[in-house]
Structures are given as C-alpha cells and as structure tokens.
Amino acid sequence: MAHATSLRVIGQSLETAKLQAFELETDGPNYVVRSDSLTAASEWILRHALIPNDLSEQRTRQSTVGRSVRFSPADISRLDGQAEKQRRINSSPHSRMYGRLSQLLRALGDHLDRAEVNTFHISWSADSASVDFQSMDGQSGSRTFTAEKLEQLGSHSRFRRSSRTRLETNLPGSLKPPGPRNR
C-alpha cells in the first residue's frame, strides 16, 4: 500500500484522537506512532480503532498500546474501508477540508512515494514536519515542511490525481462513455 494512503488513514485516526504532536516511522511494513502527549482518552481512542472484531487479538493489542501505537497493513486496510463507508454515508464539506492532519499526511506520503522512499521517520509538530528518509536506492536525506508547503504539495497531488482520472476515463475501453463529439 502506498505511503500516501497509509499516512492519510493514520492521520484520520490521529485526528479522532486529537493528537497534534507525534513521531511516526516505518518499521518494516508497519507504521509506529509515538507521542509524549498521548492522553488516556487519546490512547483509548487509538486502541479502540485498532481493535478488530476478533476478541483473541483484542487481548494482545490492549497490552501493546502505551506511548506508541503500531499500525499494520491489515489495520490500515480495515480502517481505510471503514472510512470509505463513512465518506459515502456522510459526504460533508468538513470531510474535504484540505488543512486537516489526514490531508497533510497524505500530501507528505505522496511526496515520499514519488521520491521512492522506503523508510522514514517523521517528527510532527503544530507548525512543521521534519522527515528523515532513505530511498530504495540507498540515498538518505532529511527535509522540513511547513503546513503551508504540505498544503501546496497536496493541491498538486489532487491535480495530478484528477488529471489522471480524466485521462483514464477517456481512454478506449474505459467504462465511462465518451462525451459528445464535434462533427
């Protein structure tokens, strides 16, 4: 799964938990979030979001959440599916706000995907995000983004996605019928 999608889903959980300062890093296929400002209520919200309906896994999960929370690919897929259902039910203007944490993390994830980054560590604060990363070819680096810069990256990403969608729907064999032709 792409970092953009994974970070958006994690951001949605962090928004719900009202967590605004945290460290986020990859750990193999998993993502780990740590925060010193994780309150008991925030911890409960995140723990509840990560507990699947399987009671046997609930017991092991409850003991692993402390000052850090691990999101596995299965967790992210499940949470993404739940959020998709919710978006279909409640399509409100609030859900499309671009300055939200989930959208900023999605923009950052899209940037990391385009740079072909495989491991990273993000330090997120109210006014910036610092990223240390290593790409698939072994190159490493770091970069700091302001919220405004992430919003710009996000608007470019949305433009690329909408352009790609328009191109794909106009390709021969697409499911969408072509528009009227000028004769």
Q: pTM for this one?
A: 0.75
Query: What pLDDT score was predicted for residue 165?
Result: 44
Which pLDDT score is estimated for 95? 46
**What local confidence, expressed as pLDDT, does residue 145 receive?**
95
For residue range 82-95, list pLDDT tens digits in order: 888 877 777 655 44
Residues of the chain with pLDDT under 50: 54-65, 94-95, 159, 161-183
pLDDT given for residue 1 in this prediction: 77
Q: Which two tokens stand for residue 137?
A: 């070819």
Q: In this prediction, what percent of the chain has a pLDDT beyond 90?
A: 49
